[in-house]
């Protein structure tokens, strides 16, 4: 009988503990610092370009690129700030969707594809698997 292997998404949910919350907040704060540093560097480059007297098509193109980069970093900063607010307000012992990973599943003739590819979740507490739901 012919079998094939498919990939399906598996949602990993963390039970919010004090240590999970502290680590998550710390990671978001560090990511926010890195984005703000990059944003500062881009703004410094933009200011330097403004001080240059010569405006050429090349400098105009670089300036536009830097503006796009600044907007991208500002959007990322806003997203991280929102995620940080959410992280700080997480309630202990609730489930938090931490990530999605891919898992392999074998299917063959006669299998119910919807059951094979259905929603599967792994619930972890401080990195320890507590429960596997579905699949």
Model pLDDT for residues 3-43, shown as the tens digit of each residue: 999 999 999 999 999 999 999 999 999 999 999 999 999 99
Predicted confidence (pLDDT) per residue in 75-113, tens digit? 999 999 999 999 999 999 999 999 999 999 999 999 998
In 3D, which of 78, 8, 73 has the Cα closest to residue 42?
A: 73
- Residue 135 is predicted with a pLDDT of 65
Biggest alpha carbon–alpha carbon distance for the chain:
74
**Percent of the residues in the chain that have a pLDDT greater than 90, as a whole number:** 77
The beta strands (E) that lie in 16-109 are given as 95-108
> Could you tell me which residues come within 8 angstroms of residue 62 by beta carbon, excluding any fewer than 6 positions away?
49
Same structural domain for residues 74 and 24? Answer: yes
Q: How does the average pLDDT of the chain come out, rounded? A: 92
In 3D, which of 66, 38, 36 has the Cα closest to residue 50?
A: 66
pLDDT band at 56 (very low <50, low <70, confident <90, very high): confident
Same structural domain for residues 25 and 55? Answer: yes
Same structural domain for residues 116 and 103? Answer: yes
Q: For residue 50, what are the domain limits?
A: 19-90
Same structural domain for residues 24 and 13? Answer: no
Helix/strand/coil percentages in the chain, nearest 5? 50, 30, 20
Q: How many domains does the chain divide into?
A: 2
Check the CA dihedral 22-24-27-29 and report its sign.
Answer: negative
Same structural domain for residues 70 and 104? Answer: no
> Do you know the residue count of the chain?
135
In this model, does residue 49 exceed pLDDT 90?
no
Q: How far apart are CA 50 and CA 27, in angstroms?
A: 35
Q: Which residues pair with 100 in a beta bridge?
A: 11
């Amino acid at each position: 009988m012919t079998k094939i292997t498919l990939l399906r998404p598996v949602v990993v949910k963390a039970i919010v503990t004090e240590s999970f919350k502290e680590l998550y907040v710390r990671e978001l704060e560090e990511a926010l610092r890195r984005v703000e540093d990059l944003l500062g560097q881009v703004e410094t480059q933009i200011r330097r370009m403004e001080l240059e007297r010569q405006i050429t098509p090349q400098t105009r193109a670089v300036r536009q690129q830097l503006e796009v980069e600044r907007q991208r970093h500002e959007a990322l900063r806003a997203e991280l700030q929102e995620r940080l607010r959410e992280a700080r307000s997480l309630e202990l012992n609730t489930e938090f969707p931490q990530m999605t990973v891919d898992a392999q599943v074998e299917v063959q003739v006669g299998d119910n594809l919807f059951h094979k590819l259905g929603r599967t979740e792994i619930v972890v507490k401080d990195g320890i698997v507590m429960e596997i739901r579905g699949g």
